[in-house]
């Protein structure tokens, strides 16, 4: 199982359905809240009604709590995204055949783990752009669509800030692509596209750091906004424990075109790490987290050891103030710090921008 069919938080099992949002409320923030939604929503058509019911529940739930326990709708979506991601990750780990687990003489360190961001931390550039390139080569997307993805990522890498409209448009485009498709198709595509477009873009230095944790008997998890199916493929190919990623809702093995909560990003990553730590019995003070982006400060602040990899300007400033360790594998001098013989000098922003230019030229050819 690759985690696409996310089961509810209770013991009933089955795919994650819209009505499970209400059942899951007590696990998120508890309290004496009336979870009944608008009566008119109960009588509407399923497809059009589902989004409005969830939106109404999120809005009402967000305004129900008071004082320090109050959650905004965005915070609630991020909490649900984190819970869904952790559940999918654990389900995938439990479902893995014993034959796939390589025997080792290293005693397991049961309470320590490492958490790695993916884009520009482990993978050069944005994994979702690489995935989109693979889809375009298979005629799922046009190259102009990929150029939009790449340009959005380039703007983000250069400015360090996300545009809400860019995020919303990217989310809608991605969800419209998977709606109605079987989850198995995305898993198969992820495996093919990893081999063709991502395998040769792994930062050797980051890979060496991950291996160091594995050699010490610790779990190593990826934490990313990338779809969980692709994230788990990357983890499996690198021999890591698993991945926390964005979970898309599915029913009977088919994507509905909706997310469970939201894209796993910023605070959502911290929620996912915390939820996984509870499920796996990890001591977060003994855990380590790695990232390149200031958006991941919530996750980095959650663990005992935070490490900045190829940091953006804002994260570099935060790391200096907090005394966090830093590695920059975009220069050979920094890469040598962890015993990497050579490293690409291509920066994250430059790499994404260059990819955008190449895609544009390809689309014009």
Taken in order 144, 146, 151, 156, is the CA torsion positive or negative?
Answer: positive
pLDDT band at residue 106, thresholds of 50, 70 and 90? Answer: confident
- Whole-number pLDDT of residue 172: 67
Domains of the chain: 108-364 (3.40.50.1000)
pLDDT band at residue 59, thresholds of 50, 70 and 90? Answer: low
C-alpha separations of 322 from 115, 285, 316, 318 in Å = 19, 16, 10, 6
Closest to 81 in 3D by CA, of 19, 26, 24: 24
- Whole-number pLDDT of residue 144: 65
- Whole-number pLDDT of residue 137: 79
Least-confidence region, from 40-44, 92-96, 131-135: 40-44
Mind telling me the catalytic residues? 117, 119
Q: What is the mean pLDDT of residues 200-206?
A: 95
Looking at every residue in the chain, the average pLDDT score rounds to 74
Identify the residue whose tokens are 């019911």: 53
Least-confidence region, from 3-12, 161-170, 238-247: 3-12
pLDDT band at residue 58, thresholds of 50, 70 and 90? Answer: low
Higher-confidence residue: 264 or 42?
Answer: 264
| Whole-model pTM over 0.85 | no
Q: Residues of the chain with pLDDT > 70: what percent?
A: 61
* Those residues with Cβ within 8 angstroms of residue 99's Cβ, 6 or more apart along the chain or in another chain: none
Higher-confidence residue: 316 or 70?
Answer: 316
Higher-confidence residue: 358 or 217?
Answer: 217
- The DSSP element (H or E) to which 266 belongs, if any, is none
Q: What is the pLDDT of residues 338-356, one digit of tens each?
A: 433 333 233 333 344 444 4
Write down the H helix ranges in the chain: 20-23, 25-28, 39-42, 46-64, 73-95, 127-137, 143-159, 164-178, 183-193, 204-215, 228-237, 267-280, 297-302, 313-322, 332-335, 348-364
- Whole-number pLDDT of residue 134: 81
pLDDT band at residue 64, thresholds of 50, 70 and 90? Answer: low
Residue 324: strand, helix, or coil: coil
Is residue 261 scored above 80 in pLDDT?
yes
């Amino acid at each position: 199982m690759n985690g696409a069919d996310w089961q509810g938080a209770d013991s009933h099992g089955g795919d994650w359905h819209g009505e499970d949002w209400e059942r899951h409320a007590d696990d998120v923030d508890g309290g004496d809240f009336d979870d009944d939604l608008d009566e008119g929503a109960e009588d509407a058509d399923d497809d059009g009604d589902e989004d409005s019911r969830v939106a109404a529940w999120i809005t009402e739930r967000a305004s129900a709590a008071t004082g320090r326990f109050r959650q905004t709708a965005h915070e609630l979506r991020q909490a649900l995204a984190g819970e869904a991601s952790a559940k999918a990750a654990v389900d995938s780990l439990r479902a893995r055949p014993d034959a796939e687990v390589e025997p080792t003489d290293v005693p397991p360190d049961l309470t320590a783990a490492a958490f790695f961001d993916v884009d520009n931390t482990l993978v050069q550039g944005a994994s979702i752009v690489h995935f989109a390139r693979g889809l375009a080569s298979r005629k799922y997307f046009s190259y102009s669509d990929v150029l939009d993805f790449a340009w959005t990522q380039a703007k983000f890498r250069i400015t360090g800030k996300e545009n809400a409209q860019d995020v919303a448009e990217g989310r809608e485009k991605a969800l419209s692509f998977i709606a109605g498709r079987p989850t198995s198709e995305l898993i198969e595509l992820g495996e093919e596209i990893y081999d063709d477009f991502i395998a040769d873009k792994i930062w050797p230095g980051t890979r060496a750091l991950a291996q160091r944790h594995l050699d010490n008997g610790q779990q190593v998890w990826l934490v990313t906004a990338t779809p969980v199916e692709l994230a788990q493929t990357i983890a499996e190919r690198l021999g890591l424990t698993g991945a926390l990623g964005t979970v898309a809702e599915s029913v009977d093995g088919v994507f509905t075109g909706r997310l469970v909560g939201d894209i796993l990003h910023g605070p959502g990553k911290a929620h996912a790490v915390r939820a996984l730590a509870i499920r796996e019995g990890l001591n977060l003070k003994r855990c380590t987290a790695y990232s390149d982006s200031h958006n991941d400060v919530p996750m980095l602040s959650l663990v005992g050891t935070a490490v900045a990899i190829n940091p953006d300007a804002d994260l570099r400033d935060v790391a200096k103030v907090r005394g966090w360790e830093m590695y920059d594998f975009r220069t050979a001098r920094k890469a040598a710090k962890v015993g990497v013989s050579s490293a690409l000098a291509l920066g994250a922003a430059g790499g994404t921008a260059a990819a955008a230019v190449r895609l544009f030229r390809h689309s014009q050819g």
